[in-house]
Amino acid sequence: MTASSPPDPLVLLAPRLLDGTGAAALPDAALWLDGARIAWVGPAAELPPGARGVATAELPGCTLLPGLVDVHVHLVASAGPDLASDIPRSEAERTLAAVANARRHLDAGVTLVRDLGATAAEAIAVGRAIEAGVVEGPRVIAAGPAVTMTGGHISYLGRVADGPEQLRAAVRANFAMGAVCIKVVATGGVLTKGLDPRVASYTQTELDALVDEAHRLGLQVAAHAIGEGGVAAALRAGVDSVEHGMFLDDESIELFLETGARYSATFSAREWIMRGETVPSWAKERARPAAEAHVPSFQAAVKAGVRIVAGTDAGTPENHHGRVAHEVVSMVEAGLDPLAGVRAVTAEGADLLGEPDRGVLRAGAVADVLAVDGDPSRDVTALTRPAAVFQSGRRVR
Ligand SMILES: [Zn+2]
């Protein structure tokens, strides 16, 4: 694999295609990949003359769709039972874990991920190595260490900062490290003893300063927020996405609609904490109240028209990398329309991550394409059955 030599042009033929925008399936579709970009998409019967002579690949029974987008992963973490103690101690080992976990996403058809918390610059470095063609994996939009308060959640994947000035300095330190987005921990967490997940960890003044500094530098902000008070404070500060959001009230839903921020419910994290046989009982106990509120919060958000994206929190207990398709299945089980689910895990996620040229199948877009066995608009579990994966026009699975 080299990043420099473009792949040969190829025409993919499949019984249906979903373009990622939420539009209904296009039957008997053709997708012309010309090097790293999509040249044309439409009905096979109308394939332009320029595509004659180009090699074709037929994918019987399959649906073509954009490569999937997981907006919340931790590449350094490998889904062991106890997040804090299972992350490797050395930076070298954490980086190697991130390489292996990145590959798992690509195998599942995930071509774009956002890493929301590493000990140091591991995910940033792996993202750069993928970009350079040194190792294989999805495109990585990395936050570096999460910004968290003294005594707050995931300090082992974070940078501790308190007060507006330290928060601005933390954003700058991550920026200097190569981060292209910022993760802020706005409430307590399930997997860290101490501060209750329902309690806000930063004041409004602190969050305002962090978001202002990040946006000033061109970095988007994702907020870990479980309790509704923390969710509302993060949204008032102007964050671009809320992660988890297990307790939503009318005010927080109204703020989502006002600001256009995306909601990444991370059902996978909660489901695997509750289901996982190896997960310690104290974590399950801490998760229980939030778990009960989670689906009703999500349903209220969907009903109100909040913009939904798909994030797994992969790397947390028993929550393995490369399973964002299962996140969509869970969201659909909770009431999301299947086509909206496909949109969440493709176009909507890519747009949130500042990559509007990914996550859609249209002429000129990056040729990141997934073929799945079946029709996700009728049976969303088809997303869990990848048949072929193309990244920048090159078949990688
Ligand atoms: Zn996370």
CB contact set of 330 (below 8 Å; sequence gap of 6+): 267, 268, 271
Coil vs helix vs strand at 65: strand
Place of tokens 């000129």: 364
224 CA from centroid of ligand 1 (Å):
7
The confidence score (pLDDT) of residue 5 equals 81
Average pLDDT over the chain reads 96
The confidence score (pLDDT) of residue 1 equals 46
Convert 211-244 to b/e letters by CB count within 10 Å (16 or more is b): bbbbbeeebbbbbbbbbbbbbbbbbbbbbbbbbb
329 token code pair: 């299945």
313 CA from centroid of ligand 1 (Å):
5
15 CA from centroid of ligand 1 (Å):
37
- pLDDT reading at 2 higher than 80: no
Percentage of the chain with pLDDT > 90? 91
The confidence score (pLDDT) of residue 52 equals 86
- Whether 278 and 108 have beta carbons less than 8 Å apart is answered as no
59 CA from centroid of ligand 1 (Å):
35
74 CA from centroid of ligand 1 (Å):
6
Between CA 90 and CA 94 the distance in angstroms is 6
**Banded pLDDT at 4 (limits 50, 70, 90):** low
326 CA from centroid of ligand 1 (Å):
17
Between CA 172 and CA 190 the distance in angstroms is 28
First to last CA, the chain: 13
pLDDT, one tens digit per residue, over 155-177 is 989 999 999 999 999 999 999 99
358 CA from centroid of ligand 1 (Å):
23
236 CA from centroid of ligand 1 (Å):
21
185 CA from centroid of ligand 1 (Å):
9
- pLDDT reading at 389 higher than 60: yes
339 CA from centroid of ligand 1 (Å):
26
Half-sphere exposure of 248 (CA within 13 A, CB side): 28
72 CA from centroid of ligand 1 (Å):
6
The confidence score (pLDDT) of residue 84 equals 86
Residues with beta carbon < 5 A to ion ligand 1? 313
222 CA from centroid of ligand 1 (Å):
10
pLDDT, one tens digit per residue, over 52-97 is 899 999 999 999 999 999 999 999 999 998 888 889 999 999 999 9
Convert 125-160 to b/e letters by CB count within 10 Å (16 or more is b): bbbebbeeeeebbbbbbbbbbbbbbeebbbbebbbb
Beta-bridge mates of residue 254: none
Classify the C-alpha dihedral 23-52-389-378 as positive or negative: positive
Residue type present at position 326? H
- pLDDT reading at 153 higher than 80: yes
- Whether 222 and 243 have beta carbons less than 8 Å apart is answered as yes
316 CA from centroid of ligand 1 (Å):
7
Between CA 321 and CA 229 the distance in angstroms is 30
- Whether 78 and 110 have beta carbons less than 8 Å apart is answered as no
At 295, give phi and psi (nearest 5°): -65, -45
24 CA from centroid of ligand 1 (Å):
32
pLDDT, one tens digit per residue, over 197-253 is 999 999 999 999 999 999 999 999 999 999 999 999 999 999 999 999 999 999 999
pLDDT, one tens digit per residue, over 48-57 is 999 989 999 9
The confidence score (pLDDT) of residue 85 equals 86
Residue type present at position 353? L
pLDDT, one tens digit per residue, over 288-330 is 999 999 999 999 999 999 999 999 999 999 999 999 999 999 9
pLDDT, one tens digit per residue, over 274-296 is 998 888 899 899 899 999 999 99
Coil vs helix vs strand at 68: strand
Convert 35-71 to b/e letters by CB count within 10 Å (16 or more is b): bebbbbbbebeebeeebeeeeeeebeebbbbbbbbbb
117 CA from centroid of ligand 1 (Å):
7
Mean pLDDT of 252-257: 98
The confidence score (pLDDT) of residue 117 equals 97
Strand order in the sheet with 146-148: 158-160, 146-148, 181-185, 220-225, 241-244, 262-264, 307-309
- Residue 197: C-alpha distances to residues 17, 189, 245, 247 (Å): 41, 5, 10, 10
